[in-house]
Amino acid sequence: MSRTFIAWGSILMALSVAIGAFGAHMLEGMITADELAIYETGVQYHMMHGLAVLITGILAKVLGESRKLFWAGALFIAGTIIFSGSLYVLSISGIKWLGAITPIGGVSFIVGWLMLMSSALSRRNA
């Protein structure tokens, strides 16, 4: 699990840099300032939660693997795909209904952070 999350986190981080650079260099002037701000929000959360996946992988090595850490990492990955992905597509395509699924990714982030906290405070890393 530790190596898997470190690998996933590394991939997410590389993608966040590439997607951010694409937005900064290719989208300016093609989409509105508001749409670019939405896109940039997606990049920021993508990067933060790529780091969260890396941290989860490192903690799995330090604290020992657990279901709580597994779910934290899995929810961070799912949240990144749903939250950031929906913001990327929304900002580029203008498909407004995608904004309705973005909060699902946000909830995934929140629950992932709570699972990480629970794992850190747990005497038994179940």
Residue 124, CA atoms < 13 Å, CB-side half-sphere: 1
* pLDDT tens, per residue, the chain with 126 residues: 999 999 999 999 999 999 999 999 999 889 999 999 999 999 999 999 999 999 999 999 999 999 999 999 999 999 999 999 999 999 999 898 988 999 999 999 999 999 999 999 986 655
**Number of Cβ within a 10 Å radius of residue 71:** 18
The tokens for 87 are 């913001």
Do 46 and 82 meet the contact criterion of CB atoms below 8 Å apart?
no
Indicate whether this model's pTM tops 0.85: yes
Cβ contacts of residue 65 below 8 Å, gap of 6+?
1, 2, 125
Do 116 and 71 meet the contact criterion of CB atoms below 8 Å apart?
no
Spans of all domains in the chain: 2-121
